[in-house]
Structure 1
């Protein structure tokens, strides 16, 4: 490029020698060579221009001869070439920096687009998973609502009064059986509203026992009288147990009320009968279906040596170390079948001496025919047995 541009400049200068100066047309050649080719081609064009001027334009022509007259245009050419070279280099550096910046921006844009695409994919996946979880949760909640509704139906259909409440001891649910008995709505019995149906004579005892169970987290069990919708009172055995979480904290209380009015009346009748039986010297006591002694007359105190206070609540067969003539299960089955049993038993008294008694058992049932107690009458026949053996 340097050779061509200088050659063109030389030709034009020679042709226009009479109309222009010698050097101006060489500047474009030097500038173009330096601008497009760089410092090397620029210096080459300076050298070729000086040589062309010296050989073709200065006297004597067509002969090289360097002198002081070559210095001005040589310096001008060099300065122009160096200026254009510096300017070209600066431009190239700027262009290179611009290209680097554009490359960095392109890479940053590509990375950002990749990250945006990746993040968009993650968000889409997350959104899809979230929609699925929301759908699963809604289905689970719907299933739970259906299960709770079904459970409520089952609980309401059970012929038993059922209740529940939070850990603070208030109530927030009573099933249909209890609400129908009290004649109250769900809202009326929530919180402490249920306490209004307690018998005045039982209220303080019941509430004290309930508060102790709630504070201590222990099961609740009390016999208490509840007012019915018609204003009458019936006896109920009320039990409550706490439901705890994995860390042992109470979440809720659940309980039942069992109608024991018939049993209480039967027990009262037995007590009245027992008071009459206290007038006899026969040995008579009453035990419940768990064989715990509930009544102990004077005749039993005289024969066995245990006072009423010592005997009540004890298991009769353990207290007296009873020796049965047949397996106890067989005797119990006959009692439940016929309502009566008779036979000879061997009992140990409080002092350890054994006595032989003629024992008669009678089964007591409530109004619904359920067995509730056993009346046992024992006559001491120890002397008679010894006489027979003698």
Structure 2
């Protein structure tokens, strides 16, 4: 699994409330730089670590929400942008100080559907007052835990409370094929020569699919598309399910008998990790695209771009060829900001999302869905273009 698929926990607060000391206490390691100088942490920093009693997680240490100056404003913007990426948040306060900065964060948490734990740090220096608790409770019913990073006071309570607010979906190991296959079933995985894969290796979605088949007690058979017809003819094996690289959908569809369920790696990931119903509905927009329409391509990872890049070249070219329309495309990589208004786009196409969490996918697409802008993903787009959309989604339709 990619390391970024672990639960993401954001650490927020003003400068010098002890965020870095808190992270060190939480992990039992000196992983964050501690300084008495306010503003030591300037940009959000991801740290993959083991939290005592919780397990592997991604901690995101953020700059102070009260940063100042031109650079400070940019740092605050980056801090707020982290909220889209996390499964839960920890807000640190000290000195019985709770005001506009904290209220802003809490509003952002609620808007992003992110649960929050409030940690009153440095309790060894100044106790938490009832008046502060009442002030906090005007804005949130989030749990409040008193803590001291210096003495580790209440560390077990912090951990137990944190565990209670991390969504189960962040803990649970997702399954691509649960309910589709049973123990002993044969699953045929079809690969193609992907120019974006390191030489001699499978790409991540293929590796994760192999693991998922094994975890479901089924049997993997992996063949290249060039050997597919030979395999089916010579062995007489009828797989329970065939999953293919979506880029060879058209070829595979011609070879695989219609009574064998067929889908794509990207379609399976769309079902497991994305708003699948919205994806299915949004794919229909492809046939309604008009000259001059703008389409947004969302890549979940950053990588070296080649002329065979699926998101930047292949899909745009296939869509222009299919629709016979003059279409414009914008590409946003990773979790970078979408700079244009989302309503400028006639369609948003999300990649397979093998490198980001379910929470991040939904947060990434929430603005488009709320604005009524159609969304779909790579695999469903390619299936639609190749006329096998219904077959590709059939295994996942109840």
Q: Hey, which of these two has a bigger chunk of helix by percent?
A: 1
TM-score normalised to structure 2 length: 0.21
TM-score normalised to structure 1 length: 0.21
Greater RCO (CA < 8 Å, at least 6 residues apart):
2
Q: Who wins on radius of gyration, i.e. which is larger?
A: 1
